[in-house]
Amino acid sequence: MIIAPTQFMVSAANQFTMDKHATSPLTAGEVQAELQRILSSTLFSKAPRSCALLRFVVMQMLEGGAGSTNEYAIGIEVFGRKAVNYCTGDDPIVRVQAGRLRSKLAAYYAIEGKNNSLRINIPLGGYMPSIELADVMTPTACLAFQPLTCLSQEWLAQSFTLGLNEELSYRLHREFGEQLQGTAMYSRCQEPFQRRETSYLLEGSVRQDDQRIRTSLRLTDRIKSAIAWSEQLDHGFDLPILRQERLAEACCDILRKYLGMN
């Protein structure tokens, strides 16, 4: 996402701000650094006319020379046209090169410059550059769920584990949507962590004795390589579906805190 471009204002300290409400003005050095990244890129290294035009209009902007970025001035200063016989209506050199420059800038920011924090563009209808700030998005925490393991041979514990895994899968997907990674592959390999950075892993186990079923849940912070949360819950053998629902709901309540949803 890109913030809509606005006209720069120049201060005595040679700083630039997007508008009068901005709290972090940009310096000329930051704009020049972005200009240099563009000019030294693979795409622009073989386009001397685009480089000359971009360098001229950006430097005019930084020096407060907006009046020198009209088509006639650019034709003379950048493309060597002679003032005595240069007519912008008959010679489209500036319009043609500006169109090519806009296309090259779009291509640059689509590939080489896609992670740049600043973006220089030439809006249609003029030749005065605009500076756009790339919207830096906070990475979303991702969750991987490894189905719970049943540690007991009793059919009741195994049946409860299957039902709890189904309930957890359903509620996790309903609550967290795209933040939840696929669960089927994780029990066999760690490919999800290679495909996409996973913040947390939810796993656990179920076991049974003569008096109760115990469910153990554990949330591991993959970035810190540490356990972020763990819990053990004991319950009887009655009302298995209701207990599965309550366990899954309680687990989701805890996870909201870690996935930044509280």
Q: What is the pLDDT of residue 161?
A: 95
**In 3D, which of 230, 234, 223 has the Cα closest to residue 200?**
223
Torsions phi, psi for 121 (to 5 deg): -135, 160
H/E element holding 250?
helix 240-258
Tokens, residue 98: 């500006």
Rounded Cα distance between 152 and 157, Å, is 6
Q: Domains plus CATH for the chain?
A: 9-133 (no CATH), 143-258 (3.40.50.10070)
Q: Which amino acid is at 15?
A: Q
Q: Taking 90 as the threshold, does the pLDDT of residue 167 lie above it?
A: yes
Amino acid identity for residue 130 in this structure: S
- Single-letter amino acid, residue 190: Q
Query: 107-153 pLDDT, tens per residue?
Result: 998 888 888 889 999 998 889 998 888 765 455 678 899 999 999 99
Q: Say yes or no to pLDDT of 40 above 90.
A: yes
pLDDT tens-digit profile of 43-66?
Answer: 999 999 999 999 999 999 988 876
Q: Tell me the mean pLDDT in the region 196-211.
A: 85
C-alpha closest to that of 216 among 149, 143, 116, 124: 149
Confidence of residue 197 (pLDDT cuts 50, 70, 90): low
Rounded CA-CA distance 202/168 in Å is 10
